[in-house]
Structure 1
Amino acid sequence: MTSVEDLTAELADLREQIAALTRARDEARLERDELRTAIMGMPAAIGVMTGPEHVFKLVNGAWRALEPSYEPLDRRLIDVIPPPLGPRIAAALDRVFATGEPLVAANVSFTFPGATEQTFLTFHYSALRRESGDIFGIVFHGMNVTSQVRSQQEVQSLNSRLRTFLALAENAPDSIVVAERGQITYANPAFRRMFGYGEEGVGTPLLELIDDESLARLGAHRQEGAHPGSIRAIATCRRRDGSTFPGEISTFPIRDEDGQIDAEGAIIRDLTEQRRVEQERQGLQEDLIAAQQRAIRELSTPLIPLAARLVVMPLVGTIDSVRSEQILETLLRGITAHQAAVAILDTTGVRSMDEQVASSLLRTAGAARLLGTEVILTGISPEVARALVEIGTDLSGITTLGTLEAGVAHALGRRARSARSKRRS
């Protein structure tokens, strides 16, 4: 039979156990509250989902701040986050709930309702287990990594642009150099070939690439108001061995993030081949012009052999000093070639005749007579006849007839009379 003392001792022990359990419960509650307070105040989005349907039981303020319109508590994931993102996340979490393997969803992009830009989030999902090891839920931890993703995208874009620039520069036919404080820090393969430098081109002063005269012109160009570092000019470029070649230089400033010029770029094109082609083209053009002028002279002063020892030169248009020399040269050459006894100068197509033109025709007739050729002037219009009288032109020694037909008849009659005279003798 249990004594009173035993019951008293057992009661005191029970009271100590209850007090210990109470203290443990209070400590657990305090720890839980502190943990909850910490979770709710953390900047990362944290929460707890339970059951195979992933029902939200806890989310902190950072999660709610992602999209205030989402009310998650006691609701399934697929009912909180709309398609297509919600079902896609739920399918991934099914695997975590079934296997217990953690999942990291990095840089997940989606657009919140009403937003115009994408948001990027990285979430870590881990299984919650009871003491028995059974999985009863999932705890998640997420961070808004939009700024990091944007920065990474910018870096990738810069790297892509840098690779593109290097590909262009390394394969460009023109020399491309970058200089800092006047010293070349980058030179592409075309520069090394064009200027005769190997890798030694790096460190070469940029201004050593052009001669002193071109350097002075470039300096004057800068003083005339060109933008700092911006020049486009033709210069005499100097190779490493001292030889030179004509080149076109285009320089441009390279600025840092603050807009300050910290380097200078230059593109140099060898104009040697272009100059050669231009000279050939100019020579061909000059030959073409000369050929055209010869053709024009021949067309403007045609000499027509009309019969044996009879030539006709019809004159058309305006006769100036240059053309009068052409007439004289063509007529004398034709008289000699055809051994002409008679030469007809037909002025029917001449618009006007001044003292200079009349003197040229008289000089031409006089030169022809020295070769034993009779000159017949035909086609003088009344206006031209009046002008010749007014300027007192002496046409003695020159046969003048009204029309070309009359001149030809006269020349042929003269030839017939000469033939009869020879037969009588």
Structure 2
Amino acid sequence: MTSVDVDALVAELAQLREENAALRRERDAARRERDELHKAILGMPAAVGVMVGPDHVFKIVNDAWRALNPSLEPIGKPLINVLPAPLGGRVAAMVDRVFATGEPLISANVPYTWPGAEETSFITFHYSALRGDGGEIFGIVFHGLDVTAQMRSQREVQSLNSRLRTFLALAENAPDSIVVTEHGQITYANPAFRRMYGYGAEVVGTPLLDLVDAEGRALLDARRKEGASPGAARAIVTCRRHDGSTFPGEVSTFPIRDDGGQIDAEGAILRDLTEQRRVEQDRQRLQEDLIAAQQRAIRELSTPLIPLAERLVVMPLVGTIDRVRSEQILETLLKGITAHQAAVAILDTTGVRSMDEQVASSLLRTAGAARLLGTEVILTGISPEVARALVEIGTDLSGVVTRGTLEAGVAYALRRRPRSKGRR
């Protein structure tokens, strides 16, 4: 062996040693990168893991995945044996597709109800194929994010939007005026309000109390302070339209609170009472007319005048006679005498309960007025009790014909009654 060959071997050995050291460094770097990646995966907030083989055996899962359901231990187990049915079958079908095609898949907002859990969780998973150096697929890497909070928030927003749409539909079609104010300024007014007050879009920003007279503003302020709920009040006020005209209205205000219970706006419902007032006035007039008609009917029934024969009328008196009724008796008798051209009128007191000085004076005054019309008045039906009372009060009946009964009075009247107008 020559010296030249030894030098070549030494140089080649040195090169091999350097290449071997470089390979060790690359190996160590790959291990560190793997460990760092593994550590990063385990520490990620999203649920991350690796499954290998066509049975999708769990190789790696991080703490976030375990937190989804701590009772599940997946390492070394196929997917179908880890997730409960029917969830396991659905997820396995999706992962099979990724394993077969290599195409990534996103499963969004999947509902998961873990064994023993009271509420359903929602998770969005991303599945991607793992390939070897030759491009062959040997596993699946997945990461999932618990979107339960977002889903609940989304549902709350949807519910709120639904309620807002419902409120808006009710407000827009309500016959009463509805407004919302912030710091006393109108921020929303429904069509009924705009029609009632004669405003257009310019009503937004207008102070609500500017549409109520000064007395109404003071009344609403007082009612707010008196109310059990701050900002709640109801009052009848005079409202002012855009053109300056006024109308009676009812204003009901109520507070609108935020999620913290603080008042951040105020609602108000306003109603035009013009038609209601008109109806009430018509009802009042109708009631007054009805009462007047009833009183007329009562007067006619309580003081009836009966034409008994030609130029002979009878007025039977029943019950108690007071000042008002004595006036009715006088009015009815005089009108009846004139209408029937009566020569004789009989006032029958059989049904009179008692007779005092006032009643006696009234009857005498009625008889005197009838005589002025040329009619003779006969007083019948005086009971012993009434006769004794008349004597005791000193009533003078010398100018009045009296008979004990109505029959006796009628018989006397028929004899006294002229047979025709010409004989009177």
Shorter-chain TM-score above 0.5: yes
Q: Counterparts of 1:349 and 1:132 in 2: how far apart (Å)?
A: 130
Partner of 1:234, secondary structure, is strand
Q: Counterparts of 2:174 and 2:90 in 1: how far apart (Å)?
A: 49
Q: Counterparts of 1:113 and 1:406 in 2: how far apart (Å)?
A: 111
Name the aligned partner's letter for residue 126 of structure 1.
S
The equivalent residue for 2:368 is 366
Q: Counterparts of 2:79 and 2:215 in 1: how far apart (Å)?
A: 78
Q: Counterparts of 1:107-122 in structure 2 under 5 Å?
A: 107-122=109-124
Structure 1 pair 419–121 and aligned structure 2 pair: CA distance change class (3 A): same
TM-score (norm 2): 0.86
Q: Counterparts of 1:99 and 1:319 in 2: how far apart (Å)?
A: 114
Q: Counterparts of 2:138 and 2:380 in 1: how far apart (Å)?
A: 127
Q: Deviations over 1:354-389 (max 9, x none)?
A: 322222222222222222223233333444334333
Partner of 1:112, secondary structure, is coil
Structure 1 pair 89–318 and aligned structure 2 pair: CA distance change class (3 A): farther
Q: Counterparts of 2:416 and 2:56 in 1: how far apart (Å)?
A: 130
RMSD between superposed Cα atoms in Å: 3.1
Q: Counterparts of 1:119-138 in structure 2 under 5 Å?
A: 119-138=121-140
Q: Are 1:218 and 2:234 an aligned pair?
A: no
Could you tell me how far 1:16 is from its partner in structure 2? 5.6
Name the aligned partner's letter for residue 178 of structure 1.
V
The equivalent residue for 2:291 is 289
Structure 1 pair 367–86 and aligned structure 2 pair: CA distance change class (3 A): farther
| Cα pair 2:350 2:382 within 8 Å, conserved | yes
The equivalent residue for 1:312 is 314
Could you tell me how far 1:141 is from its partner in structure 2? 0.9
Structure 1 pair 402–111 and aligned structure 2 pair: CA distance change class (3 A): farther
Q: Counterparts of 2:183 and 2:344 in 1: how far apart (Å)?
A: 85
The equivalent residue for 1:50 is 52
Name the aligned partner's letter for residue 131 of structure 2.
R
Structure 1 pair 299–28 and aligned structure 2 pair: CA distance change class (3 A): same
The equivalent residue for 1:197 is 199
| Cα pair 2:223 2:234 within 8 Å, conserved | no
Structure 1 pair 38–293 and aligned structure 2 pair: CA distance change class (3 A): same
With 403-412 and 140-149 compared, the bigger mean Cα shift is at 403-412
Q: Counterparts of 1:92-103 in structure 2 under 5 Å?
A: 92-103=94-105
Which of 155, 158, 177 does residue 156 from structure 1 map onto?
158
Which of 235, 243, 252 does residue 254 from structure 2 map onto?
252
Q: Counterparts of 1:261-272 in structure 2 under 5 Å?
A: 261-272=263-274
Could you tell me how far 1:347 is from its partner in structure 2? 2.8
Name the aligned partner's letter for residue 97 of structure 1.
F
Name the aligned partner's letter for residue 351 of structure 1.
R
Partner of 1:154, secondary structure, is helix
The equivalent residue for 2:173 is 171
Partner of 2:354, secondary structure, is coil
Structure 1 pair 37–343 and aligned structure 2 pair: CA distance change class (3 A): same
The equivalent residue for 2:189 is 187
Q: Counterparts of 2:389 and 2:406 in 1: how far apart (Å)?
A: 20
Structure 1 pair 98–348 and aligned structure 2 pair: CA distance change class (3 A): farther
Q: What runs of 5+ residues in structure 1 fail to find an aligned partner? A: none
Q: Deviations over 1:253-298 (max 9, x none)?
A: 3344544444433332222222222222222222222222222222
| Cα pair 2:227 2:233 within 8 Å, conserved | no
Partner of 2:103, secondary structure, is coil
| Number of corresponding residues | 420
Structure 1 pair 406–253 and aligned structure 2 pair: CA distance change class (3 A): same
Structure 1 pair 314–65 and aligned structure 2 pair: CA distance change class (3 A): same
Structure 1 pair 38–326 and aligned structure 2 pair: CA distance change class (3 A): same
Name the aligned partner's letter for residue 340 of structure 2.
H
Name the aligned partner's letter for residue 349 of structure 2.
T
TM-score (norm 1): 0.86
Q: Deviations over 1:63-109 (max 9, x none)?
A: 12111222323333333222333322223333322322222222222
With 347-356 and 221-230 compared, the bigger mean Cα shift is at 221-230
Partner of 1:52, secondary structure, is coil
Structure 1 pair 87–323 and aligned structure 2 pair: CA distance change class (3 A): farther
Q: Counterparts of 1:85 and 1:379 in 2: how far apart (Å)?
A: 108
The equivalent residue for 1:231 is 233
Q: Counterparts of 2:132 and 2:323 in 1: how far apart (Å)?
A: 120
Could you tell me how far 1:228 is from its partner in structure 2? 4.2
| Cα pair 2:186 2:208 within 8 Å, conserved | yes
Q: Counterparts of 1:54-73 in structure 2 under 5 Å?
A: 54-73=56-75
| Cα pair 2:236 2:251 within 8 Å, conserved | yes
Could you tell me how far 1:21 is from its partner in structure 2? 4.5
Partner of 1:164, secondary structure, is helix
Q: Deviations over 1:233-266 (max 9, x none)?
A: 1111222222222122222333445444444333
Name the aligned partner's letter for residue 104 of structure 1.
I
Q: Counterparts of 1:405-420 in structure 2 under 5 Å?
A: 405-415=407-417, 419=419
With 130-139 and 217-226 compared, the bigger mean Cα shift is at 217-226
Q: Counterparts of 2:400 and 2:261 in 1: how far apart (Å)?
A: 88
Structure 1 pair 124–351 and aligned structure 2 pair: CA distance change class (3 A): farther
Q: Counterparts of 1:348 and 1:110 in 2: how far apart (Å)?
A: 100
The equivalent residue for 1:387 is 389
Structure 1 pair 404–148 and aligned structure 2 pair: CA distance change class (3 A): same
